[in-house]
Structure 1
């Protein structure tokens, strides 16, 4: 008997019976309204996707943007594309899952709701071509990928025939029995099965001790690099706090999620560095780069210099400095780049202090997006405005990334001299509306001497306090063989300890943009910029930055916000439930702190669950507040509401004006 997800199947009937029994147990007919509400919430929780761990539910959140399809024996990738096309999903992106030749994740081209994603998974199951289809899930912000395997552990004394009976009744298949000290059986799900529902049903059988849907999830080799100079990269790893907010950009938590890469089948993930060339031969950059474009000498029809962009002139260390911040490898040597898995595309527009004309700069920008750059990092600016450069940026942000737009990042400029009382504006092209403009704070979180101010500034990132040739304090790689500043720790001439300015802040934001796209490749460039801006930490207005501080982790997972649901004008005195609804941030990683403030200003703690029950009394009002902390960084969000109890009168009924009557 094949297992299909329908209301008539015994597994589904069993699951429905579980819910019905739960309703009977916790929702008796004579239950009061608050009890009924709490019972309904418990039943709703039971129906959420989950599996059991040591008897307790582990709730999962459906990722509506992705599905998992595997067990495709005889069904090729092209066949899957055809199935998706027939379902109206021709634009979906297929990504072959690591270490699984017959498994794919399907990234939907259109935004779907959770219900739509669940229905699509069911439609693919019913289509019958694929042995296993599941929704993608998340738990505490990390992916949970179900595989076509159920792990079953029988109770002591249960006979092995129990597995045969399960397979015969529901159509599952034994893949492997206990061996090598293992006591578990590995079953393939019945074709067309909802894996979580099937797992719960099998787990209810009397001879079964526990089951576990086989899965991969966000397990980590914790992302603290062993590179010896990493401790000096204060922009990535800095214990200093400013107004109780970390000064660094929270890189380590971001690395737990991505290093800026996507499946090899999607091609190289290109980040263009538009500058004075990049020394790609530096051993700390790795081997992931493509032949660059030299706007100083090359045209579309004539390539006078094939490798000038990757072989900078003497003293032209600026572009190599930028590249090191983005891409230095986590390899136990030197420093640690923020997005080490990207592939570099060097674009040379300057040499030994001189810049190419506007047209050639525009050609360099065009070369970046036309050659597939996802992100274009620019640590240059100033000069007069240019139609040609602006037009090239417009093309990059509208035509790049197959129409989703390349993310163009610009340094905001070193236009201020605060020691002299001069506050400069954001420089061109950083002040254009379709670029990400980056300013700078110092390693203590305060304003740098040179940092600009203006509403065009999108984010700030840590950099040096002062600027000048080899006068900063930002650690990065340098030109080889003493051609640049060459003042690395311990006299290491292949590194520099003196980069700075908004030039050192911009590549940090470019690396974060790469991380965001690697995790969410369907975002437009405007959506990526918004993710970065909304994820930024609020910074003290006294810093005169007009922008938040770059936060790589929150750019990836978003910021949590909370609202409170519950009656504000309850009709009668009774016990009522109030629920904190959290949106955004790390899913499922919340703590709750409820407080009630009465009319005399006294504060009373209420509890630490998502829902609290509060007694509302007649003629009394109170403020109900909740504070949540979200994720490993403890991001805080607050909400609350005023609750007014019903008015009662000893003299008689309440008047239409909600006042007690007055009698002579």
Structure 2
């Protein structure tokens, strides 16, 4: 008889009347105008690169303004309608830096500065984003997207029940993937190359990372321009073994473009096979992120409790520890996991009649149990499984932004987290709630 240690998926399956998930249908969509990010090569952007703002003192007359700006190399001067402030466009033969230094030294000038760019924050037009994705609002996702949206050269491997990523046999591709890129994955459970989801969980988790965004459909994903790799290590019941998980980690680590491994799963452990596979992945430059577990106890699940894994706990809409979230000294950070029993995330904190779960696309597991893998809806789901892909998405964006060391990626999130609970790191919240925009800030704008 073969004895296999089982590793059970960490779903929110607790003994109370509230369901695990709730569907929502796209009936009352809200259209929102989106603003494209600034193209640095656009004509207006190039023009601003040669402009200065010069504030002259109130008693400076226009003849002195004309003389000083002409001597500094101005080609055109435009006066503000609100005082002695001027927009100075430089002649091609003069550099803004030299002109700024010359003007700043003149007694008639209060200050001179480069005419920096401003742009509208990216606000996706996905109808459920503004209404239902309170978790993205909590993380200030729009500011994060102004810094980085990801790139398909950065792959997040989703080790889970598979993903509804293709039309194959009885399986169907989820409708809101849009242009999301999928790289070749594997089905460790069934021993083939088609890592199709037959549970619902993996599709929901993957959608938090990279559901199509700003496509006027459904919900948004945090790192929506990154690519996904489906790696099926859990069966239709959400169960797998240490061997299958270790195989999945090693498979993902073979692909040089995989930079993050998301494991919204866990068990009691330990397992040398899984630990060594994690060690190999981290040594290859891959950030490994795992869920803390949903037992509501002070023991972090394996493999999240490994020292080189980012262990993720969950908070609800009030930024309080979700009642199910495990805690302990291994917790690194927390992210929104939700609580479908609560309704705290309506406008201004007023209940809006919608549960505080994490809303993403997936198929109905009840239909899947009958062999129908095409009954797609948007479901509210809660758990540390749902918190974990928020962190994996940010890890992918940090990699794209230029931080390639898994230790440095972990540190960037920990050092910029919002401190919750007791001052400093604590076993309930770890270093605190991730703040993606703060972690990315100072690392440059969205790379092309």
* Class of the TM-score when normalised by the shorter of the 2 chains: 0.5 to 0.7
State yes or no: 1:495 paired with 2:377.
Answer: yes
Equivalent residue, structure 1, for 2:142: 252
Distance 1:260 1:385, change over 3 A: same
Check whether the contact 1:450–1:466 (CA below 8 A) recurs between aligned residues: no
1:227 to 126, 133, 144: 126
Equivalent residue, structure 2, for 1:408: 288
Bigger mean CA deviation after superposition, 338-347 or 423-432: 338-347
Equivalent residue, structure 1, for 2:101: 200
Distance 1:197 1:164, change over 3 A: closer
Q: Secondary structure at the match of 1:394?
A: helix
Report 1:275-290 matches (<5 A).
Answer: 275-280=160-165, 281-290=173-182
Distance 1:220 1:448, change over 3 A: same
Displacement, 1:183?
Answer: 9.1
TM-score, normalised by the number of residues in structure 2: 0.67
State yes or no: 1:525 paired with 2:399.
Answer: no
Q: Secondary structure at the match of 1:256?
A: helix
Report 1:377-526 matches (<5 A).
Answer: 377-399=262-284, 405-416=285-296, 423-465=297-339, 473-479=357-363, 483=367, 494-519=376-401, 521-526=402-407
State yes or no: 1:187 paired with 2:91.
Answer: yes
2:203 to 320, 324, 332: 320
Check whether the contact 2:334–2:429 (CA below 8 A) recurs between aligned residues: no
Check whether the contact 1:441–1:462 (CA below 8 A) recurs between aligned residues: yes
The separation in 2 between residues aligned to 1:465 and 1:435, in whole angstroms, is 25
The separation in 2 between residues aligned to 1:551 and 1:159, in whole angstroms, is 45
Q: Secondary structure at the match of 1:549?
A: coil
The separation in 2 between residues aligned to 1:207 and 1:214, in whole angstroms, is 19
Q: Which runs of 5+ in 2 are unaligned?
A: 1-37, 79-85, 166-172, 342-354, 444-448
Displacement, 1:478?
Answer: 0.9
Displacement, 1:383?
Answer: 4.4
The separation in 2 between residues aligned to 1:445 and 1:207, in whole angstroms, is 52
CA RMSD of aligned residues (A): 4.3
Report 1:7-26 matches (<5 A).
Answer: none
The separation in 2 between residues aligned to 1:459 and 1:353, in whole angstroms, is 28
Question: Which structure has greater strand proportion?
Answer: 1
Equivalent residue, structure 2, for 1:118: none
Distance 1:461 1:160, change over 3 A: closer
Equivalent residue, structure 1, for 2:416: 535
1:366 to 250, 253, 275: 250
Displacement, 1:354?
Answer: 5.8
Report 1:41-60 matches (<5 A).
Answer: none
TM-score, normalised by the number of residues in structure 1: 0.47
The separation in 1 between residues aligned to 2:291 and 2:358, in whole angstroms, is 15
Distance 1:434 1:481, change over 3 A: closer
**How many equivalent residue pairs?**
362
Which string of whole-angstrom CA distances, capped at 9 and with x for unpartnered residues, describes residues 378-415 of structure 1?
Answer: 1011143222211111111121xxxxx22111001112
Distance 1:494 1:206, change over 3 A: same
Q: Which runs of 5+ in 1 are unaligned?
A: 1-96, 102-143, 168-173, 238-247, 262-266, 299-303, 400-404, 417-422, 486-491, 559-584, 586-664
Displacement, 1:317?
Answer: 1.2
Q: Secondary structure at the match of 2:299?
A: coil
Q: Secondary structure at the match of 1:478?
A: strand
Q: Secondary structure at the match of 1:364?
A: helix
Query: With CA pairs under 8 Å and 6+ residues apart, which has the higher RCO, 1 or 2?
Result: 2
The separation in 1 between residues aligned to 2:265 and 2:384, in whole angstroms, is 9
Equivalent residue, structure 2, for 1:268: 153
Which string of whole-angstrom CA distances, capped at 9 and with x for unpartnered residues, describes residues 302-324 of structure 1?
Answer: xx744x12x323xx211110111
Displacement, 1:362?
Answer: 2.2
The separation in 1 between residues aligned to 2:375 and 2:229, in whole angstroms, is 24
The separation in 1 between residues aligned to 2:65 and 2:320, in whole angstroms, is 69
The separation in 2 between residues aligned to 1:165 and 1:557, in whole angstroms, is 38
Displacement, 1:211?
Answer: 6.9
The separation in 1 between residues aligned to 2:67 and 2:316, in whole angstroms, is 68
Which string of whole-angstrom CA distances, capped at 9 and with x for unpartnered residues, describes residues 170-196 of structure 1?
Answer: xxxx9x7799xx996543366xx7x52
Q: Secondary structure at the match of 1:236?
A: helix
Distance 1:453 1:210, change over 3 A: closer
Check whether the contact 2:50–2:89 (CA below 8 A) recurs between aligned residues: no
Distance 1:385 1:325, change over 3 A: same
The separation in 2 between residues aligned to 1:159 and 1:424, in whole angstroms, is 69
Check whether the contact 2:189–2:235 (CA below 8 A) recurs between aligned residues: no
Equivalent residue, structure 1, for 2:18: none
Q: Secondary structure at the match of 1:385?
A: coil
